[in-house]
Amino acid sequence: MLLCDAVQAAEGKLYVLGGGWSLTGPGPAPSGLAILIEVPWDQANQRFPVALELLTEDGIPVTEQDPSGSGTPVRVDGQIEVGRPPGMAPGTPLSVPMAVNIGPLPLTPGARYYWQLTIGTETDEDWRLPFSVRDASPGGGFGPTDF
């Protein structure tokens, strides 16, 4: 998994723009998650639910206000399924590229967050993608001209 400014999946590949950051803000900005899932050979042609959830560093789901005034979790749900292409050697893992683009989110300056990936009912600490939001105060983070 990789944080980026934008991402696209096409023809089995990920096209990443501005990839590899772990610090954003302090103002809302769009972002993307480039994800490459390797499905074991013996699990081909099976459908798996996939979920990405934005959590605080304490594991609390992040919510955003909807028009009704209630908070809805920042979450992306989907499914993956991959078939075995002809001629692929038995036992070869099957790659599934996923591109998830997220609109600007108002996140708390100075806070840490992470995206958590869940496939089926399984999750793993390695399936976390942490990032920080710059502090809003002067000197609260690096800018593009600070290097």
Give residue 65's pLDDT: 75
Average pLDDT over residues 110-118: 97
Is 100 in contact with 32 (CB distance < 8 Å)? Answer: yes
In order of 28, 40, 43, 68, 94, the CA distances from 35 in angstroms are 22, 16, 18, 32, 14
Residue 147 is predicted with a pLDDT of 39
Report the sign of the C-alpha dihedral through residues 120, 56, 133, 125, in that order. Answer: negative
pLDDT value at residue 66: 66
Q: Does 94 have pLDDT greater than 80?
A: yes
Confidence of residue 101 (pLDDT cuts 50, 70, 90): very high
pLDDT of residue 142: 52
Q: Taking residues 55-64, what's their average pLDDT?
A: 94
pTM score, whole prediction: 0.86
Please report which confidence band the pLDDT of residue 137 belongs to, taking 50, 70 and 90 as the band edges: confident
Q: What is the mean pLDDT of residues 13-19?
A: 97
